[in-house]
Structure 1
Amino acid sequence: MKITLDELLAFTVVTDSGSITAAAEQLGQTTSGISRALSRLESKLDTTLLRRTTRRLELTEEGALFLNHARQIVQSVEQAEEQIALRREMPAGRLRVNAAAPFMEHVIVPLVGGFRRRYPQVELELNSDNQIIDLLERRTDVAIRIGELRDSSIHARLLGRSQLRILASPAYLARHGEPQQVTDLARHSLLGFTQPESLNQWPLRAANGERLTITPALSASSGETLRHLALQGEGIVQLADFMTREDCRQGRLVPVLAELTETETQPIHAVYYRNTQLVARITCFLDYISEQMAHDWL
């Protein structure tokens, strides 16, 4: 029968991505090549593994049974390759990393050069999403998540914490004056998030002693958008240090109500499924990122 690894890989990637087109993009092949690989595999097994619906491909009962075996074989080969690399004390292979766009831009991207020089055989694939993703569905090895975690089915590693601060541009404060107490914010243009509402709770105390929840004069779904609005002098904003560190260092943004701001930090975790063959390259990446963050970034 002589089933090939390429056929097994095509089958598992099509299953994970939900389409032949997506699988072809991920594997760097043509859709016709992926289709032929699936046809050969089904022919060799003399069974149908996938059926096409109006929306996507779905596993047959036989396909679901065979998928577990196919995954084990592919993972065993990847693990063998990884072990050979480990013998040379040099992690190797592709590592797919997903993070929110601001964290990718302000933290990960500046560290990529140093990481690649240290681990030249690790092939990074960087993707950005502002929503929480399904790691398996998006074929992601490790994702960076900011804030408290809710999913207990994945392995998580705390990389560090980033403090939240109230900030504005010097130009905005020159035009509108600098607030001296929390109640002064009512006369200012406040920049906030469209969702979730918790991001519009600032580390300040209102007159009734409760945590201040702002009503934004201008809202955005992205922290990076709010950062640019603040830099352009459109108002006062609450953002995390990891994305405003350089702005504050260069004086483009300055703290507002610093003495009244309570210390609040957001945890930054790396999350991934336990997967033996990926341990070496995940570990070296996370070690490097957390080392650099601890040294200079947070």
Structure 2
Amino acid sequence: MIDVDALIVFSAVIDSGSFSAAAERLGQTPSGVSRTISRLEERLGMTLMRRTTRRLQLTEEGTWLLGRARAILADLANTEAEAAARRSQPSGLVRVNAASPALGHLLAPLLPEFLDTYPLVQLELVSGETYVDLIEERADLAIRIGALPDSTLNARRLGSSRLRVLAAPAYLDKHGIPRTPADLGQHRTLGFTAPASLNTWPLRHDGVEGWTVAPAVTASSGETLRHLALSGAGIVSLSHFMSRADVAAGALVPVLEEFALPWTQPVWAVFYKQGALAPRVAALVEFLAKRLGEVLEE
């Protein structure tokens, strides 16, 4: 039977990129790690990786085993977390992937409360602006804003946030205030590199619902566009959740409000589910479903 400790060592070597780094991470010696990998290869009768002085490269068999090892170790971790939940409350590490605006404006203000409620849960927060493969990125949960691509993943809607067209007073003082959506063609607009649908703004004009702009500046991150708008670089369309504090402070002001459409962006918790959701993940999803719903309605 394969030793679970050997699978832990094998995964650590791949995740850390070297025997020495894995040894440090596991509190072992590099020679001990090397012997464990050699015994695992001997046990399975296959070569798992090719080793050079500069890098490790998985063989086809190694890639297969890595997927199996991660699934086995994740199942063991979930079993341990479920046992802890039966004894007291959810515990263990939850890896969360979210776009930087969601991390900064939605999650960060609420997570202290979550951690106080579930002190045995640890969080690892990773910023990602695009669709993420949860298995490949080893994420337990992703927070995504907007329409979701077709997926075999499970998703739970946490709420929605209104889109608004905004600009800094300094920009408007210098370049004037657009009076109709058609005037945007004479202004510097800020938009997203992808998807293109984000550059259709929530404005109605001449019987058209949704006004498409040709941005002078594009960025992959809404947070980058927010900072550009705050600096007076141009006019932008952003979710209310990430701009409301700026509007309240007068750093950004709504424009073309008389043409505004009540468009909103849904906020999703996305997770990979096989069987029961791990208690530590379920606890975070339930918490966000309750608290984000309240925050997004403000």
State the TM-score, normalizing by the size of structure 1. 0.85
Matched ranges for 1:180-259 at <5 A: 180-207=179-206, 209=208, 211-259=210-258
Contact 1:98 1:142 (8 Å CA) reproduced: yes
Q: In 2, Cα distance between the equivalents of 1:197 and 1:80?
A: 43
1:34–1:106 distance in 2 versus 1, CA, 3 Å:
farther
Per-residue deviation, residues 71-118 of structure 1 (Å, max 9, x unmatched): 564345323312221123410011100011121111112222111111
SS of 2:208 mapped into structure 1:
coil
Matched ranges for 1:272-291 at <5 A: 272-276=271-275, 278-291=277-290
Q: In 2, Cα distance between the equivalents of 1:159 and 1:265?
A: 13
Q: In 1, Cα distance between the equivalents of 2:254 and 2:142?
A: 30
Q: In 2, Cα distance between the equivalents of 1:288 and 1:55?
A: 41
Q: In 2, Cα distance between the equivalents of 1:141 and 1:5?
A: 21
Cα offset, 1:67, TM superposition = 6.0
**1:102 equivalent in alignment to 2:101:** yes
Q: 1:28 maps to what in 2?
A: 25
Contact 2:192 2:219 (8 Å CA) reproduced: yes
Contact 2:82 2:278 (8 Å CA) reproduced: no
SS of 1:60 mapped into structure 2:
helix
1:38–1:215 distance in 2 versus 1, CA, 3 Å:
same
Contact 1:10 1:23 (8 Å CA) reproduced: no
Contact 1:24 1:34 (8 Å CA) reproduced: no
Paired residues, what number?
Answer: 292
Cα offset, 1:139, TM superposition = 0.9
**1:58 equivalent in alignment to 2:59:** yes
Which residue identity is paired with 1:86? A
Q: 2:37 maps to what in 1?
A: 38
SS of 1:28 mapped into structure 2:
helix
Q: In 1, Cα distance between the equivalents of 2:115 and 2:239?
A: 27
Per-residue deviation, residues 149-174 of structure 1 (Å, max 9, x unmatched): 12321111111112111011222223
Which residue identity is paired with 1:136? I
1:237–1:276 distance in 2 versus 1, CA, 3 Å:
same
Q: In 2, Cα distance between the equivalents of 1:23 and 1:274?
A: 34
Runs of at least 5 residues in structure 1 that lack an aligned partner in the other structure:
none
Q: 1:5 maps to what in 2?
A: 4
SS of 1:151 mapped into structure 2:
coil
Q: In 1, Cα distance between the equivalents of 2:286 and 2:212?
A: 37
Per-residue deviation, residues 183-225 of structure 1 (Å, max 9, x unmatched): 2323322112233322211111344625311112232232111
1:210–1:55 distance in 2 versus 1, CA, 3 Å:
farther
Q: 2:262 maps to what in 1?
A: 263
State the TM-score, normalizing by the size of structure 2. 0.85
Contact 2:49 2:56 (8 Å CA) reproduced: no
